[in-house]
Structure 1
Amino acid sequence: MALPLLEYKPTTQNQRVASFGKADEDEDSPYIYRMEDMAGPDQAQRLIWASYRQVFSEHETLKFNRNATLESQLKNRSITVRDFIRGMAKSERFYATVVAVNDNYRLVDVCLKRFLGRASYNQDERIAWSIKIATLGFFGFVDALLDSEEYTNAFGDYTVPYQRKRMEGRPF
């Protein structure tokens, strides 16, 4: 039997604020990639590139990290963006470059930033998600994140995850 996610009190963080007004309207504001905007192959390729950049980060977005099968399914609209992200997160390459080289706490931090577009609230949240990894395994953790209410409300099935608010160290 899987343990439920531990309760934790979120601390105030800027991703929970709807808008910073003018500070959100600059060149650092993210472009939001949606499946509905895929009018042609060029837009589809941009959406796929944005997905790789978000999941693998820019320095790991290499040709051998790409998954032609998942890309083809997304271009044909056989799968949703959420399923595309899930497939990349469960790939051997992601496991080798991210999961295998990090402990559970660091893995929680990395995955929250890449899949939910935010940093962890506090140590209690890191512990709660680390317990999920320990009980469900990494793939179960990915499913829990991508099927969470927070992910659904923020991105749904057709939007590539993005940094929702400024991360620590980024100026207004």
Structure 2
Amino acid sequence: MDTYTPITIGRKSTEVERQNALHQIYAQVLERQPYIHERKELSKIEKDFLKGKLGVRHFIGELVVSSVYLNSFYQDCSNLKFVEWSFKHILGRALQGKEEIAKYMDLLMMKGVSAFFHEILGSEEYRKAFGCFTIPYARDVKFYDSPLNYLQTNLLQHEHVGQRGKIIPTIYWQQLGMDCETGTCVMPEPQVETYKPSPDSEKSIVKEPIATVLNAEIEELLQMLQNSDAKQVLQSMNENQRSLLRSLAK
């Protein structure tokens, strides 16, 4: 992982230093600079930050519950992917196993986005890593308890928004043994003979709306990944699920 010098903004920081810090916060949390029309929503907290009324942590707390952030990382995304992105942006690391995933998924679904972010920003981990005035960043390997977790985080940190879709977390692409050398995780096409139904049998099939069927299959796939070992899930998938998994990576 690339070395990075943490940026800390204190009460005595100049406006120029705060401007540079604002640019870096957006790069870390939003993964881009806000568009012109988005600046209107953010103008109040930007002004307070530049005047020193808001610290880094407080500013990030306001940013992540804004429609600017939520439209990019929450809307049209699975809850699992949203949780993974949030950890990347705020804690500078990947999720660490089933227990942590279950904890934050439950918090998000039971108490909502605001409580979810309050838990992260108010955590002992965040306080020790960044405090109130240091901008979050991708932390180095010394933080991780295993080489696997480092590799997962390294893969996530170099993922561009939407590069591997908005449904399956990057942690699962890696665990599923996908080929990620090109920057986009790919599952090889299986060499199996496919069954093609006869015209008569096709007529007897009652088709549900495509969106309904797809959403149900995606939800089933996410539940399988969340509750079981990823490699076992891959082995148990039927061809329809494998095809869905390939499509979600695009």
| TM bin (shorter chain) | 0.7 to 0.9
Residues 29-68 of structure 1 aligned to structure 2 (within 5 Å):
29-36=3-10, 39-58=13-32, 61-66=34-39, 67-68=42-43
Q: Which moved more, 1:29-38 or 1:71-80?
A: 29-38
Query: Larger radius of gyration, structure 1 or 2?
Result: 2
Kindly state the Cα deviation for residue 101 of structure 1 after the two structures are TM-superposed.
Answer: 2.0
Q: In the alignment, what sits opposite 1:138? A: 113
- The RMSD of aligned alpha carbons is 1.9
CA deviations 1:46-104 (Å, max 9, x no partner) are 1000111111113x643333312111111111111101001110101111111112211
> Within the alignment, does 1:89 sit opposite 2:64 as a pair?
yes
Q: In the alignment, what sits opposite 1:5? A: none
Q: In the alignment, what sits opposite 1:158? A: 133
Q: In the alignment, what sits opposite 1:107? A: 82
Q: How many residues align?
A: 143
CA 1:120–1:109: 2 relative to 1, 3 Å: same
Q: In the alignment, what sits opposite 1:116? A: 91
The structure 1 segments of at least 4 consecutive aligned residues displaced by more than 6 Å after TM superposition are: none
CA deviations 1:108-161 (Å, max 9, x no partner) are 110011000110011321121100101110111011110111111110111111
- Matched residue SS, 1:35: coil
CA deviations 1:4-60 (Å, max 9, x no partner) are xxxxxxxxxxxxxxxxxxxx8xxx3113111128632221111000111111113x6
Identity %: 24
Q: In the alignment, what sits opposite 2:209? A: none
Q: In the alignment, what sits opposite 2:154? A: 168
Amino acid at match of 2:105: S
Question: Where does structure 1 lack aligned partners over 5 or more consecutive residues?
Answer: 1-23
- Matched residue SS, 2:6: coil
Question: Where does structure 2 lack aligned partners over 5 or more consecutive residues?
Answer: 142-152, 159-250
TM, length-normalised to structure 1? 0.76
Give the structure, 1 or 2, with the largest relative contact order (CA under 8 Å, sep 6 or more): 1
> Within the alignment, does 1:98 sit opposite 2:73 as a pair?
yes
TM, length-normalised to structure 2? 0.53
Amino acid at match of 1:100: Q
